[in-house]
Structure 1
């Protein structure tokens, strides 16, 4: 069994670069999220990270196999009827929670602990979501409008055609 690394650390924020959230394979969310991973302990299954959500981003209503504590550090996070600001806190467990809206963008510090950080959500429900919170900035208003338009376009797209059978010679049709 691997030993957990519990040595003391003092890390400056600028020492860790932002990475695309999907690239880390820790957060399975729609594109656009950036992360900074400060600590990942696979033995205790704890991950400490900052997450940056762009203006207009909507995090789907979701579940995951771990709990998380979220502290808003910059911007706005709108969830459960509350417009959260820096210093405000969210706790989520393995029950459906969200959607979280970030009309003007947001940075949060998150601690996950448990069975995994991968988010599970219903894509159709996410694509039909209508933003409830108004952006306070011009850039946020434009981003919210772009996000709504992108979700609407994604709803109308037909799934890619799949090969429907074999041609002569035994190869599948390509479309």
Structure 2
């Protein structure tokens, strides 16, 4: 079993995070386009994200972004037929986005290590709800952690996403 360390990312990790973001969301899933020669993708919420990184042998192998409510709708809301119900939860909720592990490191153990870290982080920081757009290939893993679907899946690029919520209490 691979020995990974999961921790809060720092500024020193940003280059690796942006590179992995490009590799997965531009190159693999084809959800974004970039100019030729560009190999980094900076998330539109970069300035407000808290990054959680997975590290193996002192190299970043994956990350996810935690985004708290800042007055703008969460990104998953665009995948909902009616997002008004979210209003009651906004100030007690976060959105986890961009769950990304390099292909050679994608396994249940690493997924659960990231998930466990986030569950502890949200409890420590006083949040009650976690929203995600679960990728179709991992829906069963999200359900095993405790997420439940709140809307039908939506197609984007080469994948389908299902809006989901986890009650952290």
Same fold (TM over 0.5): no
Structure number having the greater helix percentage = 2
Greater C-alpha Rg: 1
